Structure 1
């Protein structure tokens, strides 16, 4: 549909970002794939081991599978907080008669705050001795018996490290979903109200189907970011206590830079890439099939 000159212009403008993407994203993935076939400590010569690293990862590494299970739990908590919270907050802000811009700005602020600052903030919130904000609130409402060292209790640590990540990006996804909801034709909503549709029917039959493409994109974004989550869990607990909050990303990092086993760490990184691709494929197929 484009003239030859237009096609040339499009290619010229696309070339720089494609080159940057290839160098910054595709090349490291290929390098990790190649390195995963070797045993290397970063100093001595690399030794080719073939698929031995993959066999070790899938069949003989209990810590890897514990980290994988923790990653799935981390993903579930993040998705519930981020997508559920974003959808609720966006709907509430859309119903505000005034002050929408201020509300959107306040909810978006956590996404631009330094990760290190967020980690330190939640360390103080979760603190047991001296009591942090969370334990103080529990004591004030008469639930002092529920006070616990949230980051050192194996039964609560995974939720504790997941909550800051969920809170951090809720505002970002809220902004995306809010823009989609605001674009829903008002004529459809008014016609539905005249027919006696309730708020839930209005949302389920008109608003949500209309924002379905945006919702799929947002789910994919949230899923891939959560599967690659690293900084806040690492800063809060470094995977502890034991491996109770160990994620695949923190395990990969420690394998590379603490154990200096770069070949095996690359194997874990390849698995993370495959995991993200599989997740994106499943989300796309399931949501579109349900929509059909």
Structure 2
């Protein structure tokens, strides 16, 4: 539909980012896909094994399935904190008349703090000796029985390493959702209020349907980022104790750089890419079905 000159201009502007994306993203994915068909320790000659790495991953590696289940739990906690917390804060922010900018800055600060600094911060927050913030607060309110070594208890470590990641990005999703909420036509909410609708009905039937496309985008962003989560769990526990907080990403890293099994590590990397694509497809299909309903 564009004239030739406009098409040429669009192509010229799109070419640099597309080339950069291809070199930085698509090319490594292709290399991982090829390498996943080989057995290679990084030094000796590569040996072609076909689909044996995939067969071992799916049927012969119990550690992989443990890390996969951990990854699902990690994603669930991150989504609840990031999207649920972001939606609640954005809704409260939309009702304020003063102090909005200060609150937005405070919630956005964690997103610009170094990952290493956040890991050290939460390592201190969860500490037992000297007593960290979490155990100190529990003791202060009389819940001494709940005090525990959060990062070395197999029952709590996964939630403990997921919480910093969820807390870190609440501000980003809060700002995105807040921008969508304030764009909802105010007269619709006022008309519904005059008809007797309460705040929940206004949000459910007016505001949320209007922000559904933004909600889909933020859900995809948060899900794919959580599926690729690596740094904070690795820095806090290195996957321990045992494999209680081991994720597919940390397992892939150790397989490549500790076990020097680059072929199988590439198989895990390909799985992470496929996992993200499947998650995006399921989210789009589910939210579109609800919208059509």
* Partner Cα separation in structure 1 for residue 177 and residue 197 of structure 2: 22
Post-superposition offset of 1:2: 1.7
Match of residue 236 from structure 2: 236
- How many residues are matched? 292
Match of 2:173 in 1: 173
- Distance in 1 between the 2:35 and 2:176 partners? 38
Secondary structure, aligned partner of 2:169: helix
Spell out, residue by residue over 1:217-265, the C-alpha distance to the aligned partner (whole angstroms, 9 max, x if none). 1000000000000000000000000000000000000000000000000
Secondary structure in 2 matching 1:240 = coil
Instruction: Kindly state the Cα deviation for residue 188 of structure 1 after the two structures are TM-superposed.
Output: 1.0
For the residues of structure 1 that align with 2:8 and 2:101, how far apart are their CA atoms?
Answer: 41
Query: Aligned partners of 1:186, 1:133: CA distance in 2, in Å?
Result: 42
Unaligned runs of 5+ in 1: none
Aligned to 2:36: 36
1:179 is displaced (CA, Å) by 0.4
Within 2, Cα distance between the matches of 1:3 and 1:112?
43
1:49 aligns with 2:42: no
User: Please, which runs of 5 or more residues in structure 2 have no aligned partner?
Assistant: none
Partner of 1:148 in structure 2? 148
Q: Which residue of 2 aligns with 1:101?
A: 101
Q: Which aligned segments of 4 or more residues in structure 1 are displaced greater than 6 angstroms? A: none
Q: Which 10-residue stretch deviates more, 86-95 or 2-11? A: 2-11
Structure 1 residue 193 displacement after superposition: 1.5
Is 1:63 matched with 2:66? no
1:246 aligns with 2:224: no
Please report the RMSD computed on the Cα atoms of aligned residues, expressed in angstroms. Answer: 0.6
User: How far apart are the structure 1 equivalents of 2:157 and 2:111?
Assistant: 22
Q: CA deviation at 1:149?
A: 0.2
TM-score by length of 2: 0.99
TM-score, normalised on structure 1? 0.99
Query: 2:243, 2:138 → 1: CA distance?
Result: 27
Residue deviations 1:94-137 (CA, integer Å, cap 9, x gap): 11111111111110111111000000000000001111010011
2:121 aligned with 1:133: no
Shift in Å at residue 202 of structure 1? 0.6
Give how far 1:150 is off. 0.1
Per the alignment, residue 279 of structure 2 pairs with 279
**Residue-by-residue CA offset, 1:61-114 (whole Å, 9 max, x unaligned):** 000000000000001010011100000000001111111111111101111110
Shift of 1:187: 1.4
